[in-house]
Amino acid sequence: MKDDKEKNYDLMKLCLYLISLWILFFMLIVLKIDISLIPFEININNIVSFVSCNQIPCICSVFIILGGIGYWWFIDSLDNAKNLPVKILKCESVNYENLSFLATYIIPMVCFPMDTDREIFVMFSVIVIIGCIFVKTNLYYTNPSLILFGFNVYKVETDSQKIFQQGIVIVKGKLREGESIKYLSLSDNVYFGRTIKNADTRDKE
């Protein structure tokens, strides 16, 4: 049985994966929504009719909202992280992996035919399978959506002597050698970080 901490990590990974698909969901909404059915008069019958005729856009909208909730959860969890800050000794940008994810998965899925129920089922099955693979292999940090919000992904080495010696860091803005970060562990080698100023980075863990 997984403890609560491991379950939270799995939930965070799932949220990151949903966020990485924001671009796909937005494009599917644009392609599939029937704006002629938007109810100008709000009542139950109009809403039910709109949702039944726009199932894919509505499902995508729900996933976008869930990803948004996960995003704010990350920010709140990072602000309340109890790990002591660490100093970055070496860092290397790996943002190119986000472009690979966009070109390899997002764009082909946008072109996926979804004219029949079977094709829709296959489409969402592929999304689920890719998500499972990304979570199991810790590749969920390849997240083009976060890049659009100013986040960057780095491979780093720190001055920590125990837990966080090296790994992948997702951080908003640029990260430079010599800076200190506050971090939240997402898995064994992936961290969500925030740069801080005037921190004592000596590892006391």
Q: Is residue 204 part of a domain?
A: no
Map tokens 């599917």 to a residue.
28
Q: Confidence class of residue 40 from pLDDT cuts 50, 70 and 90?
A: low
Q: Is residue 112 part of a domain?
A: yes
pLDDT reported for residue 201: 42
Q: Confidence class of residue 6 from pLDDT cuts 50, 70 and 90?
A: low
- Summarize pLDDT for 94-149 with one digit per residue, the tens: 888 777 778 877 888 888 887 788 888 888 888 888 888 877 777 777 888 888 88
pLDDT reported for residue 82: 66
Map tokens 């938007």 to a residue.
38
Distance set, CA 157 to CA 68, 71, 92, 165, 167 (Å): 30, 25, 9, 6, 7
Q: Is residue 201 part of a domain?
A: no
Q: Confidence class of residue 197 from pLDDT cuts 50, 70 and 90?
A: low
Q: Is residue 202 part of a domain?
A: no
Least confident of 8-12, 15-19, 85-89, 104-108: 8-12
Distance set, CA 99 to CA 29, 143, 157 (Å): 22, 9, 23
**Cα 205 to Cα 199: distance, rounded to the nearest angstrom:** 15
Distance set, CA 173 to CA 146, 154, 198 (Å): 11, 11, 18
- Summarize pLDDT for 27-39 with one digit per residue, the tens: 889 888 877 766 6
Q: Confidence class of residue 200 from pLDDT cuts 50, 70 and 90?
A: very low
Q: Is residue 184 part of a domain?
A: yes
Q: How large is the average pLDDT for residues 40-58?
A: 79
Q: Is residue 205 part of a domain?
A: no
pLDDT reported for residue 199: 44
pLDDT reported for residue 1: 45
Q: How large is the average pLDDT for residues 166-186?
A: 86
Q: Is residue 203 part of a domain?
A: no
**Domains: count for the chain:** 1
The pTM of this model reads 0.75
Q: Is the pLDDT of residue 202 over 80?
A: no
Query: Which has the higher per-residue pLDDT, 154 or 84?
Result: 154
Q: Is residue 148 part of a domain?
A: yes
State which residues form the domain around 10.
Answer: 4-196
